[in-house]
């Protein structure tokens, strides 16, 4: 009975999916058991008595990509259906069910890639330079509560890590409903005997030299399946209308960006309509008019109509929309940063040169249902530039970029040895006067100092421990990420240990510019100290770089932070670790992690007590692994306050791979707070600065003994 029920559900799922695929212009073909299984034992189903021989439960669709010239897309489609609601997000069942469906599709892709069917499909295609094999997993629930609730953010990636595939798209009930609703809006509002519609394509920037690129067709490309904005071109004789169907509800911030987007993608089309699920002219009409007046050239948006899903074209007769047309294409139009929603080449270049990590970009794709086996920037950017990000999604990226820039990062270097000439001197009197415009500003730098004269002041009335702070106003060239002008703070501290005749320096920066400024301040002070014979002419500044360590020493260095040697700050657990296999180390053929070489370039553990997993605790494995970053949770309890916080220890992946630490933004949780938050953070960072130097010096001393 269970088998019959499963078969019925499978048939229902296939019927739903095939109908939806027909609506988006995909004429899929059943595989019909024509793909032999080339890994019969590896792909054997869990409860099957015999090895697997074929893959016949799926279908495929072929098309030449309009976004990548000369690329033939092989799309393998798997349909799963359940009468029940998706398993609860908090249950393990959701991920076990997902991983079972996902693994089935991966195995089909694996065997299809080496099948005669794939080779025949390639031979039948013309003007093709290369191929890509993608998978789509439709997982549809009949439960109506699943209509608006996406399951993507609730799925764990750990179940897909050891699988070998390229890219898989997951379509759940919520995504399917939006695609269907978009098509229904077009059908009910526009389509008649005299109108015809087609899917409208953005210029992705992935094929800039293609002189015959398409901007419309009767099928929806794979990448646009997951877009929260669907574009349609509706034509009637010489009349053309661009319709944007938006998944998110109406908001003032989103309409600003969508009006700018509509103008940019329309290529001079006179009629543009934007449909929201909840728009009401009586409720939102005044907001729209106010937003339109905010455009420097309001003529470009006056003719854009804002409608609901349920409005039909006749409702325009009762609207206040003007009949003015957009400005001519060659007329320069200036948009404010809040009116821009980048896409295609512009978005790709923004992300390429941003501080947003591939992990954060990949998280966005995962939340949209896209799974990449190798989520590198090189693989992520072509996908992100081929879809239309919603205003909410773009603001999520902006917030990631802004957080990267705004949060304080801290670097302290090993102490510099001083000469006997500093005896009986006070550090605050030894330091030179510094004009920041002369020391730390080049001719074409796009920032100014609020006060160019850098003044040092004692910390806690200690004249041998001093600090200097400054603020810059930066004129942003990239107004899409930022406001046109932004302020960033920087700070340097110096501490003289007269007992050991050495000086420790610490750099606190909030942007790339303030990091460089801090470095130039320190270099100026060291140069001045050499002139005054406070530092020997042969002494050089030492930094903590990843190249100072072997792979095993890097992990030892990180793990050493679990022992704080303090009753005021105690270690709880490691919650994140960013590692990769070292390509310069060869794993033994029988090694337990040998399988990673062909599957994983880098990966990030997220969870609890990561310090206890075997890959980390096994000392012999550490030589093959390069660790870039660790995030750990600690508890603090001292007179200024009590609570928990997360701290990130990392070697910067760019530049010279220098070590830095920072308290993770928004991770401070106070049970008791006596002093201000910043004082507590500085106190905690001082503890870890001292701890870091002790751990570093211990490892370096051990290396010297080993070399002796």
> How many angstroms separate the first and last alpha carbons of the chain?
75
The reply to whether 384 falls in a domain is no
Structural domains in the chain (count): 4
In the listed set 490, 507, 531, which residue is the last one of a domain according to the structure?
531
The Cα 548–Cα 702 span in angstroms is: 12
β-bridge partners, 506: 412, 493
Closest by CA to 208, choosing from 71, 342, 345, is 345
Tokens coding 307: 């409608």
Query: Given this model, what pLDDT does residue 495 score?
Result: 92
Between 491 and 211, the more confident residue is 491
Between strands 216-217 and 434-435, the pairing is: unpaired
pLDDT of 666 > 90? The answer is no
Contact 138, 17 (CB under 8 A): yes
In the listed set 339, 370, 400, which residue is the last one of a domain according to the structure?
339
Query: Of 17-26, 422-431, 467-476, which gets the smallest average pLDDT?
Result: 467-476
The reply to whether 402 falls in a domain is no
Confidence band (pLDDT; 50, 70, 90) for 594? low
For 123, the 3-state DSSP assignment is helix
Same domain, 68 and 98: yes
Mean pLDDT of 99-121: 90
The reply to whether 376 falls in a domain is no
Same domain, 154 and 210: no
The reply to whether 379 falls in a domain is no
What pLDDT, in 10s, does the model give residues 339-361? 889 999 889 888 887 778 788 89
Same domain, 209 and 324: yes
Tokens coding 510: 């909030």
Domain that holds residue 217: 178-339
Tokens coding 289: 């008019």
Q: Which helix (H) or strand (E) holds 574?
A: strand 569-581
Q: Find the radius of gyration of the CA atoms of the chain.
A: 30
Same domain, 147 and 182: no
Helices (H), 434-587: 436-439, 512-531, 551-559
Same domain, 265 and 290: yes
Contact 55, 107 (CB under 8 A): yes
Same domain, 166 and 257: no
Between strands 167-171 and 130-141, the pairing is: parallel
* pTM (2 d.p.): 0.71
Same domain, 314 and 419: no
The reply to whether 119 falls in a domain is yes
Closest by CA to 7, choosing from 63, 81, 70, is 81
Same domain, 607 and 625: yes
Q: Give me the helix-helix angle, 358-367 and 391-406, nearest 10°.
A: 160
CA–CA–CA angle 293, 296, 301 (5° rounding): 60
Sign of torsion, CA 34 35 40 45? negative
The reply to whether 538 falls in a domain is no
The reply to whether 698 falls in a domain is yes
Same domain, 56 and 164: yes
The Cα 269–Cα 130 span in angstroms is: 34
Same domain, 222 and 325: yes
What pLDDT, in 10s, does the model give residues 320-345? 444 434 444 445 567 887 888 999 98
CA–CA–CA angle 478, 306, 241 (5° rounding): 90
Same domain, 199 and 167: no
For 66, the 3-state DSSP assignment is coil
pLDDT of 206 > 90? The answer is no
Confidence band (pLDDT; 50, 70, 90) for 314? very low
Query: Of 220-229, 286-295, 400-409, 417-426, which gets the smallest average pLDDT?
Result: 400-409
Same domain, 553 and 515: no
In the listed set 122, 154, 171, which residue is the last one of a domain according to the structure?
171
The reply to whether 678 falls in a domain is yes
- Exposure of 438 in the CB half-sphere (CA atoms within 13 A): 6
């Amino acid at each position: 009975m269970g088998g019959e029920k499963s078969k019925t559900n499978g048939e229902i799922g296939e019927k739903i999916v095939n109908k939806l695929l027909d609506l988006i212009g995909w004429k899929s073909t059943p595989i019909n058991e024509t793909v032999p299984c080339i890994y019969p034992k590896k792909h054997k189903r869990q409860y099957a008595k015999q090895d697997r021989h074929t893959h016949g439960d799926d279908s495929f669709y072929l098309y030449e990509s309009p976004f990548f010239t000369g690329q033939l897309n092989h799309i393998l489609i798997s349909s799963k259906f359940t009468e029940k609601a998706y398993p609860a997000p908090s249950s393990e069942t959701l991920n076990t069910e997902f991983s079972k469906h996902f693994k089935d599709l991966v195995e089909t892709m694996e065997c299809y890639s080496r099948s005669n069917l794939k080779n025949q499909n390639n031979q039948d295609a013309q003007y093709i330079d290369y191929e890509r094999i993608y998978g789509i997993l439709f997982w549809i629930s009949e439960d109506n509560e699943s209509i608006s609730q996406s399951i993507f953010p609730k799925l764990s990636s750990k179940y897909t890590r050891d699988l070998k595939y390229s890219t898989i798209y997951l379509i759940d009930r919520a995504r399917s409903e939006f695609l269907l609703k978009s098509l229904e809006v077009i059908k009910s509002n526009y389509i008649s005997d005299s109108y015809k519609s087609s899917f409208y394509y953005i210029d992705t920037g992935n094929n800039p030299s293609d002189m015959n690129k398409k901007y419309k067709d009767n099928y929806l490309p794979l990448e646009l399946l997951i877009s929260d904005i669907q574009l349609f071109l509706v034509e009637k004789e010489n009349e053309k209308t661009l319709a944007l169907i938006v998944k998110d509800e109406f908001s003032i911030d989103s309409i600003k960006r969508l009006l700018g987007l509509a103008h940019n993608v329309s290529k001079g089309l006179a009629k543009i309509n934007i449909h929201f699920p909840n728009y009401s002219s009586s409720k939102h009409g005044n907001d729209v008019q106010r937003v339109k007046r905010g455009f420097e050239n309001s003529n470009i948006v006056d003719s854009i109509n804002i409608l609901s899903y349920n409005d039909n074209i006749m409702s325009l007769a009762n609207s206040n929309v003007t009949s003015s047309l957009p400005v001519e294409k060659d007329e320069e139009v200036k948009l404010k940063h809040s009116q821009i929603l980048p896409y295609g080449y512009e978005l790709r270049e923004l992300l390429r040169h941003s501080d947003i990590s591939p992990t954060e970009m990949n998280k966005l794709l995962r939340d949209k249902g896209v799974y990449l086996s190798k989520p590198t920037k090189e693989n992520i950017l072509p996908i992100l530039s081929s879809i239309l990000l919603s205003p909410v999604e773009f603001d999520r990226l902006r917030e990631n970029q802004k957080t990267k820039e705004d949060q304080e990062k801290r670097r302290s270097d090993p102490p510099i040895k001083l000469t006997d000439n500093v005896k009986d001197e006070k550090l605050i009197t030894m330091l030179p006067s510094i004009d920041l415009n002369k020391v730390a500003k080049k001719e074409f730098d796009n920032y100014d100092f609020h006060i160019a004269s850098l003044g040092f002041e004692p910390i806690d009335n200690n004249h041998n421990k001093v600090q200097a702070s400054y603020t810059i106003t930066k004129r942003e060239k990239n107004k899409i990420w930022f406001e046109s002008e932004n302020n960033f703070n920087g700070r340097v501290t110096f501490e003289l240990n007269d007992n050991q005749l050495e000086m420790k320096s610490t750099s606190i920066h909030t942007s790339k510019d303030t990091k460089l400024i801090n470095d130039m301040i320190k270099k100026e002070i060291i140069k001045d100290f050499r002139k005054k014979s406070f530092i020997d002419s042969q002494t050089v500044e030492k930094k903590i770089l990843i190249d100072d360590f072997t792979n095993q020493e890097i992990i030892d260095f990180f793990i050493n932070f679990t022992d704080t040697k303090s009753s005021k700050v105690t270690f709880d657990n490691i919650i994140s670790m960013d590692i990769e296999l070292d390509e310069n180390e060869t794993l033994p053929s029988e090694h337990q992690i040998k399988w990673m070489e062909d599957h994983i370039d880098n990966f990030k553990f997220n969870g609890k007590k990561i310090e206890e997993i075997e890959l980390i605790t096994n000392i012999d494995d550490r030589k093959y692994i390069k660790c870039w970053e660790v995030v750990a949770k600690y508890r603090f309890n001292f007179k200024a306050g009590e609570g928990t916080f997360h701290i990130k220890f990392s070697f910067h992946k760019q530049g010279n791979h220098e070590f830095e630490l920072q308290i993770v933004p928004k991770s401070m949780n106070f049970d008791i707070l006596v002093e201000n938050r910043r004082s507590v953070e500085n106190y905690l960072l001082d503890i870890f600065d001292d701890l870091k130097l002790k751990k570093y010096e211990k490892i370096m001393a051990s290396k010297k003994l080993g070399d002796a």
